[in-house]
Amino acid sequence: MERIFAKITLRAYWEKHAEAEQHLKTWYDIAINSDWKTPNNVKNTYANTSILKDNRIVFNTKGIAYRLVAKFNFQKQWIFIRFIGTHAEYNKIDGNII
């Protein structure tokens, strides 16, 4: 089982962007119940993810309307939410360093 830090980040985002709420809740439910041990395990669940360096993975939510960047510690089964935003907002950051 994964442990996600911090669900409050997801909640804060969907409270401002209600159209993203169900998609983020679905992502959370899948992630919390998964047993991902490698980036490829994640990719088997979410084929459209992008694997970045340092165990960061970009998820597309609500189609490609929103992006979520998470940093993984696969050994401890921890997921750290590093960024949630629109596709356009994501294009302004470097997902490899956030």
Residue 98: inside a domain, yes or no? no
pTM higher than 0.85, yes or no? yes
Q: Summarize pLDDT for 38-96 with one digit per residue, the tens.
A: 999 999 999 999 999 999 999 999 888 999 999 999 999 999 999 999 989 999 999 98
CB 84 within 8 A of CB 9: yes
What pLDDT does residue 1 have? 54
Tell me how many domains the chain contains. 1
Q: Which domain holds residue 56?
A: 3-90
CATH of the domain at 24: 3.30.2310
